[in-house]
Amino acid sequence: MVRVIFCLGFVSFWVSTIAQPKNNLLLQFVPVYAREVVRLDSGIFICPDSSGIQIETFRFYISRVSVYKNEKLLWTEPMSFHLLDAAIPASLKLSLVMPAGTSFDQISFNLGVDSFTNVSGALGGDLDPSRGMYWTWQSGYINWKLEGTAAAAPTRNHEFHFHIGGYSAPFATLTPVILKVDNQQNVNVFVDLHRFLNGIDLKTENNIMIPGHNAVRLAKKAGTIFYTNP
């Protein structure tokens, strides 16, 4: 009991002297397929067009979230690694706490996990290898996982699998994303899977699960489907 009081005393002391007012930014990611929101928390998503595509899994990492004013870097989130999963709504909402008065007009993040982190052994939290986003037969994070079925795919059960990753040259897939923003408190970031899948011929390309040229090309494509204004 005495120990607990010591601790509480310490914490309140710390809070009163060191803590300062903060700026809060709520970054809400919204996976969409064209105009339709892609939700996977209660089942698969059937694309509302004639593509014959159904989406079952959509998860990706973002890291190094930063804000800028007039191209000048103002703030980078410390320990910035987030696993976003369309099946877990809470994972799509990032609450960023930065110094009070930070006023910005642009945000950036990396799609994926950087190479240093990829060679740093077992890590915890969103980076824990048990989260299903780590390759087993070869070390490295899967930066982007999109799975489902497509009428066009001549595979077993018409399945497609895009496990995009790879951290070392010449097959590094970490992709920077830069977005203009005009709101300081709430920013919606849309991720349009229609733009991603539209550019892929699922008849011939439906199973990318290793680092290489194809993964690099698809990572670049994935970097272009984020936007803030519909």
Contacts with another protein, residue ranges (CB under 8 A): 2-3, 6-7, 9-10, 13, 118-124, 128-132, 134, 136-140, 171, 212
Q: Contact 78/66 with Cβ under 8 angstroms?
A: no
CB of 81 to another protein, least distance (A): 13
φ, ψ of residue 79 to 5 degrees: the values are: 45, 55
Q: Least Å distance between CB 93 and another protein?
A: 23
Give me the least distance between CB of 222 and another protein, in Å please: 21
* Least distance in angstroms from the C-beta of 16 to another protein: 12
Those residues whose C-beta lies under 8 Å from the C-beta of residue 56, and which sit 6 or more positions away, are: 40, 44, 45, 147, 148, 149
Smaller CB separation from another protein, 127 or 191: 127
Whether 213 and 173 have beta carbons less than 8 Å apart is answered as no
Contact of 165 with 140, CB cutoff 8 Å: yes
Pick 90 or 169: Cβ nearer another protein? 169
State the minimum distance, in angstroms, from the CB of residue 116 to another protein.
11
Amino acid type, 184? Q
Q: Which is nearer to another protein, 107 or 127 (CB)?
A: 127
CB-nearer residue toward another protein: 119 or 151? 119
Residue closer to another protein (CB basis): 31 or 165: 165
Whole-angstrom CA distances from 158 to 65, 134, 145, 206 are 36, 24, 17, 9
Between 134 and 196, whose beta carbon lies closer to another protein?
Answer: 134
Minimum distance of another protein from residue 172's CB (angstroms): 13
Instruction: Give, as one character, the DSSP assignment of residue 134.
Output: B
SS3 for 183-224, per residue? Answer: CCCEEEEEEEHHHHHHCCCCCCCCEECCCCHHHHHHHHHHCC
CB within 8 A of 178, min separation 6: which ones? 106, 107, 108
